[in-house]
Structure 1
């Protein structure tokens, strides 16, 4: 077999692998889901975010792939637990209601506020809800301090709950 044929075969395999990995990451693992709604954590429990027009996606491959968009008439209560370190994670380009850059800019500008919706939805992962001044809501999962510590290999502190899967 000549070198040119071998090089061509290797190039075809490399392109096929790249296309396969791209497809798996952007399309295959995601599926549309229909959550019942979202709640904000408060000092006294939870308050319903009054979500309507919910669009949501999730993937079984990672606990931080959940994204959702919704409309709400809720004016966030003063006692809702604000999430100061909220950083919206990007969504696949085809899930066009969720623009992480635009949400992050709104959080920085103060035209959106992020709240804790659920602590440790999975170990080390919090569910964050951000609500804009114009009544648009966004949800994503984000690593909390325990998750960041657990996944970067640092010793987990005593303030982190024990992992159920170990």
Structure 2
């Protein structure tokens, strides 16, 4: 009889631990940064980040990792003007976002970048040590931002 009790205790403990781990990974550390984020892109001439025009920004971030930042927005700036003004980013690889942050679809953004349907720009270099902010813009004005490792840590 005591073996059954110990077995049930182990199973219940494992289920609780699994549920807690799942919740911690997907929900616990993320904060809504929609109101306090200033979106910048690096000017091709000065090499300095400049604030860009954007609206409807939705963003999440976490203190637990510099790579957890994701953002979705719209802009009225044309791709032609953006490519003349801001540095492009060659190795842009959007990282997946939690499923509940449904405005950011990393696979769709990555496919559009590969197909040339969107253009990636350097938002800010070394926004944190070894991490760049990347901004991708679609021709219709949809924009997406994320952090990714730069050459300091990616190799």
What is the match of residue 44 of structure 1? 45
**1:16 maps to 2:20:** no
SS at match of 2:32: strand
Instruction: Report the alpha carbon displacement of residue 43 of structure 1 after superposing the two structures with TM.
Output: 2.5
* 1:1-166 map, 5 Å: 2-33=2-33, 34-45=35-46, 46-75=49-78, 76-149=82-155
Change (3 A) 1:100 1:136: same
**Greater relative CO, 1 or 2 (CA 8 Å, sep 6+):** 2
What whole-Å deviation, never above 9, does each CA across 1:108-160 have from its counterpart, x for those lacking one?
Answer: 111110010101111010000000111000000001111235xxxxxxxxxxx
In structure 2, distance between residues paired with 1:144 and 1:24: 27
In structure 2, distance between residues paired with 1:10 and 1:21: 16
| Larger proportion of helix | 2
Instruction: Report the alpha carbon displacement of residue 14 of structure 1 after superposing the two structures with TM.
Output: 0.7
In structure 2, distance between residues paired with 1:36 and 1:124: 20
Unaligned runs of 5+ in 2: none
Q: TM-score by structure 2 length?
A: 0.90
Query: How many aligned residue pairs are there?
Result: 149
In structure 1, distance between residues paired with 2:130 and 2:112: 25
In structure 2, distance between residues paired with 1:30 and 1:120: 21
Q: TM-score by structure 1 length?
A: 0.84
In structure 1, distance between residues paired with 2:37 and 2:2: 61
